[in-house]
Amino acid sequence: MKRIFILKSSEGRTAPDFSLKSLSAWRMDLIARCIIASFATPIGPRRDVILHIVLEGPPNPPVTVSIYGEKMEKMPLSEIEAAEIIYNALLGRANREVYIERKSFERTLLENYNHEIFYLHEFGEDIKNVKISGTSVFVLGDHKGIDEEGERILEKIGAKKVSLGRIPYLSSHCIIIVNHELDNRWEDGT
C-alpha cells in the first residue's frame, strides 16, 4: 500500500549553505532522520513511499523537496548521505528520484487532495481504529510541531487527526510507526 508523508519543517534551510558535518543547525538532522525512516529497509529503498519535505527556514522559503522511493537507486546509509539529498536538490543537481519546487505547505497539501489526508497528532483518533483504504497522506510536524497557520490549513482541507498514542514521538519515529502499521495491514506488499 503506497503512502505519502508530508513533513513541515519550520526551520529547514532553503539554500545549500548548511554544513553536512553539523546537521543540528536548522534541524537538518531531523530531516535526514525522516528520510532514513521513510525509505530504509535492509534490502534497499522502499518503493511504496513518497516523502515531501516542506522547508520553511531561511533564506528563501518555502521550498518543497519531494523524494520518490520507486525511483530511488540507492538508500542513503547515514544522516550525512540523507542530508546530501536535500543539499544536492538545493544546488539544482539533477536527480531522477528527487524533485524540488518553490511550493508552500498549503500547495503541497492541495496537490495531494485526491488522497485521504491524515494529520498525525497525539490527540487524534487511534490509528488502530482508522480505516485506511488506498494511498493516503500523513502530515507531521518537526520538533516544534505544526504551527497555528498550518493547523488552520489542515482543518480547512478536512484532514483527520490520527494518533499513534498519547506519548509524543520524534517525527522520524512517527514515520516508522506508520510504515509498520500499514505494512501489517497489507502484508502482501501491494
Ligand X SMILES: C[S@@+](CC[C@H](N)C(=O)[O-])C[C@H]1O[C@@H](n2cnc3c(N)ncnc32)[C@H](O)[C@@H]1O
Compute the least distance from the CB of residue 160 to ligand X, in Å: 12
User: By C-alpha distance, which of 139, 129, 109 is closest to 181?
Assistant: 129
Task: Give φ, ψ of 105 to 5 degrees.
Answer: -55, -45
Compute how many residues bind ligand X; rule: CB under 6 A: 18
CA end-to-end distance (rounded Å), the chain: 5
Compute the least distance from the CB of residue 173 to ligand X, in Å: 8
Task: Give φ, ψ of 50 to 5 degrees.
Answer: -120, 135
For helices 28-39 and 171-185, give the axis angle rounded to 10 degrees.
10
- Coil, helix or strand for 78? coil
Residue showing the smallest CB distance to ligand X in the complex: 145
37 binds ligand X (CB under 6 A): no
- Residues numbered 103 to 122 that lie near ligand X (CB under 6 A) are 120-122
Compute the least distance from the CB of residue 170 to ligand X, in Å: 5
Compare residues 15 and 130 and give the one whose CB is closer to ligand X.
130
User: By C-alpha distance, which of 139, 117, 126 is closest to 166?
Assistant: 126
- Residues numbered 131 to 160 that lie near ligand X (CB under 6 A) are 140-141, 143-146
Residues binding ligand X (CB under 6 A): 120-122, 140-141, 143-146, 163-165, 167-171, 174
